[in-house]
Structure 1
Amino acid sequence: MSNALDGKVVLVTGASSGIGQGTALALSKAGARVAVGARRADRLKSLTQDAPGEILALDLDVTDRQSVQNAVTATVDRFGSLDVLVNNAGVMLSGPILGADLTEWTRMVETNLLGSMYAVHAALPHLLAAKGAVVQISSTSGRTASAASAVYGATKFGITAFSEALRQEVTAEGVRVIVIEPGFVDTELASHISDPAIQAMAKSMAESMRTLQPEDIASAVLYALTQPEHVAVNEILIRPTDQTR
């Protein structure tokens, strides 16, 4: 595994915690040179200290197109190329449609969907040159819509559609597009829900099962990225064994 990623350059968005942080560490351990970006750039310091390989920490807001372009440029300037983009930045502000705070809808669409699109757009010329890969961290909510998660699910369904169109456009050029769809993962994602009842429900559901860990998702990412070049693992659905839907 380490040989396949040794020396490769990877940009991971949303790397200040959870899946992004775990994936960045796993990639570094596998020999990759990793650029990590997040709005909470101060939280990247521990990641740069814990990673065994070279890490570039970037102040990155995926909702800002210039910030995204700057992050890609800084990565290429530092390492000379870009082989893999891991689109992980995301927010989950679940709640019912009736009476919803529409600013939360906007934040989810801008972060989860448009943010990942901006990152692909900025990185794609470099990924084409490297015959690299795009990894989209989606969700089981990108397959099955559910009450109180309409907009979050819509952003994840959007990622699936965008990724399939992207795959059709670039696969003949050697760029692989990988969608990872995790179920319940032990991260702080649900803690940002502003509706107390929905947050309590999410907490109760998580406590009812053996949740996935960020490292489990990182392992799936590494599996997909370390396949032979002629093998494209386009989609991985990964749930806790205890999760029924």
Structure 2
Amino acid sequence: MSDDFGSELDGKVAIVTGASSGIGEATAKSLASRGASVVLAARREGELEALQTQIEADDGDALVVPTDITNDDDIDALVDATTEEYGRIDILVNNAGYMPLTHIADADRETLQTTIDVNLTGLITLTHAVIPTMLEQESGHIVNLSSVVGRFLMENGSHYNAAKAGVKMFGDSLRLDVAADGIRVATIEPGSVATELLEHIPDDEIKEGIEEYAAGLRPLQPDDIARTITFVVSQPPHVDINEVLIRPTDQVQP
């Protein structure tokens, strides 16, 4: 295992969704480097298996569970596989995301529904499936990936803005329900990050405009967000970091 980090998470079990690339991949590596056993969840099994190989080559522990976060059966199978393999769930990183930015008048209903399903409904459903295990343990940590646009408005993204704002409200409300049971909840709100999310944008003009804007920044890297998440979940049990807004130094909009 890497000596770059300590062993604060030894014995902990973490599920990371959207682990096949970007922030999810970087977070899985970071948590494993601190000693956590990491359950890798995403649709692309080949990428997950490649990540598992990398983690295990560094003396880490990883389990691959192909998962479509919009499928209830997949969610149940992910939780079952985790508890069968490890007997507990200490950390859930709800990272899976989808950002098909477009003007609302140009969006089809499937795009609108999928945006909500991936970014919000799937997140809530998986959290719902994990909570009973954490309640039984009287401990756990839920980390939800929202976005800077869950707090500040962005053109051509009303459906995406709504989903990410919902993530923030869900996390804040969830904490009211579970804090007394030893379960911590954090919302991470990244600004511009160099990930695959831009590839989801169907409108070429909007995509080019965002790419041009991003080119004028020094964007965050997935490792930057991974370090933040690892810091949040490595705090002692009496410390609950509820919210982190993290942007490139030169990003002032949104």
TM-score range, shorter chain: over 0.9
- In the alignment, the residues of structure 2 paired with residue 2 and residue 129 of structure 1 have an alpha-carbon distance, to the nearest angstrom, of 28
**3-state DSSP of counterpart to 2:105:** coil
Aligned length: 245
SS at 2:122's partner residue?
helix
> Aligned AA for 2:100?
L
Give 1:4 deviation, angstroms: 2.2
Q: Is 1:72 matched with 2:79?
A: yes
Q: Deviations over 1:182-202 (max 9, x none)?
A: 000010111111110111112
Supply the distance in 2 between the matched residues of 1:118 and 1:82 (Cα, whole angstroms).
Answer: 16
Q: Distance in 2 between matches of 1:9 and 1:22?
A: 16
Distance in 2 (CA, whole Å) between partners of 1:56 and 1:93 is 30
Query: Per-residue displacement from partner, 1:105-152 (whole Å, max 9, x unpaired)?
Result: 111101100010011011001122330100001100110121101100
Structure 1 residue 2, shift from structure 2 partner = 3.1
Q: Which moved more, 1:168-177 or 1:121-130?
A: 121-130
The 8 Å contact of residues 37 and 71 in structure 1, kept in 2 or not, is answered as yes
Separation in 2, partners of 1:242, 1:41: 36
Structure 1 residue 46 and structure 2 residue 50: aligned? yes
Instruction: Classify the secondary structure of the residue corresponding to 2:104.
Output: coil
Name which of 59, 62, 71 aligns with 2:69.
62
- Counterpart-to-counterpart distance in 1, 2:61 and 2:227: 20
Instruction: State the TM-score, normalizing by the size of structure 1.
Output: 0.98
- Residue 141 of structure 2 aligns with an amino acid whose one-letter code is A
CA–CA separation in structure 1 for the residues paired with 2:154 and 2:215:
19
> What corresponds to 2:119 in structure 1?
112
Matched with 1:9 is: 13
AA aligned to 1:126 is: T
Q: Does 1:93 align with 2:100?
A: yes
1:156 corresponding residue in structure 2: 164
Extract unaligned runs of 5+ from structure 2. none
Output the aligned Cα RMSD: 1.0
Q: Give the fraction of aligned pairs with identical amino acids, expressed as a percent.
A: 42
The answer for unaligned runs of 5 or more in structure 1 is none
TM-score by length of 2: 0.94
Query: What does residue 190 of structure 1 align with?
Result: 198
Match of residue 133 from structure 1: 141
CA contact (8 A) 1:33 1:55 kept: yes
Partners of 2:155 and 2:19 lie apart in 1 by 29
Q: CA deviation at 1:228?
A: 1.4
Q: Which residue of 1 aligns with 2:225?
A: 217
2:240 to 232, 235, 238: 232
1:227 deviates by 1.2
> Distance between the aligned counterparts of 2:147 and 2:157, measured in 1?
12
Q: In the TM superposition, what are the counterparts of 1:6-45 in structure 2 within 5 Å?
A: 6-45=10-49
Match of 2:152 in 1: 144
CA distance in 1, matches of 2:236, 2:21: 30
Secondary structure of 1:178 counterpart: strand
